Chains A and B, each alone.
Chain A
Amino acid sequence: MHAYANPTRFLAIAKPLTPWLLGIGLLLVLAGGWAGLAMVPGDYKQGETARILYVHVPSAWLGMGGWTSLAIAGLIQLVWRHPLSGIAARAIAVPGMLFTALCLATGSIWGRPTWGTWWEWDGRMTSMLVLLFLYAGFIALTSGDDGQRQGGSLSRGAAIYALVGAINIPIINRSVVWWNSLHQGPSITLGGSSIDGALLWPLLLTVLGFSLLFGAIVLMRMRRIIADNRVAARLRRLADEED
């Protein structure tokens, strides 16, 4: 496991992987988006409005998946102090927050014609908004800190913050089960899907496509942090030689 924590080995894999993730991800998003908008029929009850789920659902999944990976990176930072874990956490935070915001925005746009409201303080919406604020807090906590100038590792405080914030993830997931809410219950569970197969397959394409795009963005951001580190290290060496 330590082998992949080495930035040089990581770069040797990440560099060729990035364009593949980006290309296949874009292709799947376009194919799934086209299928969802133009090929499958509208929902029996909501009609054309339900098509927004092909963006809303992947955004929600990536917002939550993003924080889950951020928390795992925080744990690895705390316990094993792998050099890449802090870099990964920093790289995940911005796209994670972006997809959470996209989920809230598409949900709001969807809520107006179906429920009759842009926003309600029910359990699902409130806990998702909390996730957005958690991301904002993490980005504020890790921007311009000592770790950013010294290899990208997380401070103990930021790593603990990432772990504690993970409590919100099961709360978001269970919010529509524990509390009665305006948001409907889960459509896709371990037991199966209550989205009919005819409407489901474009969703699988966009979920996979957006996930690959997310992966590509994270890899690009990680490579950029590593490149910054190398530039900083080289400058420091040059400055030392001049002394």
Chain B
Amino acid sequence: MKAKHQRLILALVALSGVAGAGVLAASALRDEAAYFRTPVEIEGGKAEVGEAMRLGGMVAKGSIVRQSDGLTIRFVATDGKASVPVEYTGIVPDLFGEESGMVADGRMRADGTFVADRILAKHDERYMPPQMGDMPKNMKAPATT
């Protein structure tokens, strides 16, 4: 066997070893590296009352209610399987809206409401012109201003 073949085999063996280690580490991180928890995970008991965490989900249609102080909003975050009521006082990003993704920093209150200190908007991977006629049913065009 030529020296370069030996080096090739050695390099490939070492590389597959490192790749295997990387995949193992990545899958072990599966839960820990998640940026947020979903409503179904919270329903499954993955949230202590008062524990700082992030909640991610879609804002349920027709659920945003502005409170009388004008700053506090309440809405329902859902992942299709479970939903969590959220309360937030402050200014939301422009893209925040019903039937759109959001991520909230905050903690669960004993009554089962998630109290957010901060809200980020999450958008999906679709890009299209505003006047597209054949939009998927779960999206609606924004009010043109």
| Contacts from A to B (Cβ < 8 Å) | 40-46, 50, 53, 75, 78-81, 113-117, 120-123, 160, 163-164, 167, 170-171, 174, 178-182, 184-187, 194-196, 198-199
Contacts and interface: CB of A to CB of B under 8 A. Distances in A.
Nearest to A167: B22
Nearest to A189: B125
B95 A180 contact: no
Mostly, the A contact residues are loop
A196 B33 CA distance: 31
B119 A116 contact: yes
Interface of B: 4, 7-8, 11, 14-15, 18-19, 22, 26-27, 29-30, 33-36, 38, 56, 92-96, 100, 103, 119-132, 135, 141-142
A79 B129 contact: no
A179 B95 contact: no
Given A79-B11, A182-B36, 11 more contacts: A41-B129, A43-B128, A45-B123, A121-B35, A171-B26, A174-B26, A180-B34, A181-B35, A186-B125, A196-B129, A198-B128
A199 B120 contact: no
A184 B125 contact: yes
Contacts of A41: 129-131
A115 B120 contact: yes
A45 B142 contact: yes
Contact of B7 (A42, A78, A171): A78
Contacts of A114: 93-95, 121, 123
A115 B95 contact: yes
Contact of A167 (B18, B93, B122, B135): B18
Contacts, number: 124
B95 A45 contact: yes
Given A79-B7, A167-B19, A179 B125 contact: no
Contact of B126 (A40, A178, A187): A187
A180 B56 contact: yes
Given A44-B129, A198-B129, A113 B30 contact: no
A195 B127 CA distance: 5
A44 B94 contact: no
A117 B120 contact: yes
